[in-house]
Amino acid sequence: MLRKSLIVSLAIGAIILNSSYSIVSAADLPEVKILATGGTIAGSAPSNTQMTGYKAGALGVETLINAVPELKNIAVVSGEQISNIGSQDMTDDVWLKLAKRCNELLSDPDVKGIVITHGTDTLEETAYFLNLTVKSDKPVVLVGAMRPATAISADGPVNLLNAVKLAASPKAVGKGVLVALNDEINGARDVTKTNTSNVSTFKSPELGFLGYITDGEPYFYRETTRKHTKESEFDVDNLAKLPRVDIIYTHENDDRVLIDASVNAGAKGIIYAGSGMGSIHKDAEPGLVDAQKKGVVVVRSSRVGNGMVVANSEQYTKEHFLNGDTLNPQKARILLQLALTKTNDLNEIQRMFDEY
Ligand code: ASP
């Protein structure tokens, strides 16, 4: 009798399992593309205890996908190798290729989202560039890892699983380009790398991250008020190059030498990472004034890491220097590059800094 009921319940279990299997059959799962660019998430070290001094961008996208077979339960994933570099070597060429490929893929109604695997060093920059150049409200999620794929407790596989879950989630639609590491969701505009080695390196200082990913489920608590993706006026689909914009980082005993070098190198814009609220050293200022007179757009940013840079000085306003708001210097540089693809009008460029 007992045996008979066991067999019956096993049979019922098999039917339930079978039907739940058909609920998650590949035909019903969202399609997510993984674009791989390199980084520590694809890094390989000679031993599993080695956390630094490894080769970033050593493994291909198929290896990353195969290392997480659970991806098959949440999406139909397929990979493309865009580059395989340490992200400290990121270039405008790779960015343009990425943005164009994202726009192509997202125009396909079957593709529900994109995950980009990336080194963590410049991940925030690529995220903000795509935030301003991807023309879709479908999720685009950047993911990386702080420990190489060969490490004991590598963080790449779980980060990739979470990123695919996020890219496949309707909750992530319309939120702008997202960054998903260490169970947290950050927005592209405000996120920055804050620690050279810790897995909890990505933060949106003071303004805050957007949400958590817990047990593979995204939970959003806030969103950016700044324009992005579908609302963005920037379009790189027909561009082969971006204008040169340099960052000059101030310090005690600063002068105009690097500013002049930047102008001579053909910069169309300079981000001055000033002290405090974008303060400019008196010995550097004449260099910026001369650069501005030659048509180079000068934006004041700050090396502080938090807070706004606003029009706080009549002199700087008279000198036609623009204000970078809360963007860190590396993100102000991206917005100025894109702004310069559209206009040289200073009022227009300041408007962009106020809106994006
Ligand atoms: N240098 C590496 C890179 O950015 C670091 C990392 O991925 O964490 O590619």
292 lines ligand 1 (CB under 6 A): no
40 lines ligand 1 (CB under 6 A): yes
Q: Please, what sign has the CA dihedral across residues 345, 351, 353, 356?
A: negative
Q: Tell me, yes or no, if the two domains 27-231 and 245-355 fold the same way.
A: yes
Q: What is the pTM of this model?
A: 0.93
pLDDT recorded at residue 25:
67
How would you write the pLDDT of the chain (356 residues) with one tens digit per residue?
A: 444 444 444 444 444 444 333 345 677 999 999 999 999 999 999 999 999 999 999 999 999 999 999 999 999 999 999 999 999 999 999 999 999 999 999 999 999 999 999 999 999 999 999 999 999 999 999 999 999 999 999 999 999 999 999 999 999 999 999 999 999 999 999 999 999 999 999 999 999 999 999 999 999 999 999 999 999 999 999 999 999 999 999 999 999 999 999 999 999 999 999 999 999 999 999 999 999 999 999 999 999 999 999 999 999 999 999 999 999 999 999 999 999 999 999 999 999 999 99
Q: Are 154 and 180 in contact (CB under 8 A)?
A: no
pLDDT recorded at residue 56:
92
Q: Whose CA is nearest to atom 8 of ligand 1?
A: 120
CA of 147 to the centre of ligand 1 (A): 9
Q: Are 165 and 217 in contact (CB under 8 A)?
A: yes
What gap in Å lies between CA 101 and CA 85, rounded to an integer? Answer: 18
Query: What are the residues facing 212 on neighbouring strands?
Result: 184, 219
What gap in Å lies between CA 67 and CA 196, rounded to an integer? Answer: 25
pLDDT recorded at residue 27:
76
CA of 246 to the centre of ligand 1 (A): 22
What gap in Å lies between CA 206 and CA 328, rounded to an integer? Answer: 13
Annotated domain spans of the chain: 27-231, 245-355
87 lines ligand 1 (CB under 6 A): yes
HSE of 235, CA atoms in CB hemisphere, 13 A: 6
Closest of 83, 102, 97, 125 to residue 241, by C-alpha: 97
- Sorted by sequence, the CB contacts under 8 Å of residue 178 that are 6+ apart come out as 127, 139, 140, 141, 142, 166, 172, 185, 186, 187, 188, 210
Say what the alpha-carbon torsion angle 40, 43, 48, 51 is, to the nearest 10 degrees.
-40
What gap in Å lies between CA 237 and CA 354, rounded to an integer? Answer: 24
Question: What is the number of the ligand 1 atom nearest to the C-alpha of 57?
Answer: 9
124 lines ligand 1 (CB under 6 A): no
Query: What are the residues facing 300 on neighbouring strands?
Result: 272, 323
- Sorted by sequence, the CB contacts under 8 Å of residue 101 that are 6+ apart come out as 35, 80, 82
State the architecture of 245-355 in CATH terms.
3-Layer(aba) Sandwich (3.40)
Catalytic (active site) residue 214: no
Query: What are the residues facing 270 on neighbouring strands?
Result: 246, 298
Question: What is the number of the ligand 1 atom nearest to the C-alpha of 123?
Answer: 4
Tell me which H or E stretch contains 80. strand 76-85
Q: Whose CA is nearest to atom 3 of ligand 1?
A: 119
Closest of 321, 244, 246 to residue 279, by C-alpha: 321
pLDDT recorded at residue 13:
43
Q: Is 173 helix (H, G, I), strand (E, B) or coil?
A: coil
Question: What is the number of the ligand 1 atom nearest to the C-alpha of 41?
Answer: 7
150 lines ligand 1 (CB under 6 A): no
pLDDT recorded at residue 24:
54
**Which of 54, 88, 121 has most ligand 1 atoms within 8 Å of its beta carbon, as the pocket-test mutant?**
121
CATH code of the domain occupying 27-231: 3.40.50.1170
What gap in Å lies between CA 320 and CA 342, rounded to an integer? Answer: 19
CA of 38 to the centre of ligand 1 (A): 8
86 lines ligand 1 (CB under 6 A): yes
Question: What is the number of the ligand 1 atom nearest to the C-alpha of 144?
Answer: 7
Q: Please, what sign has the CA dihedral across residues 35, 182, 305, 148?
A: negative
Q: Are 187 and 211 in contact (CB under 8 A)?
A: no
Say what the alpha-carbon torsion angle 181, 184, 187, 193 is, to the nearest 10 degrees.
-50
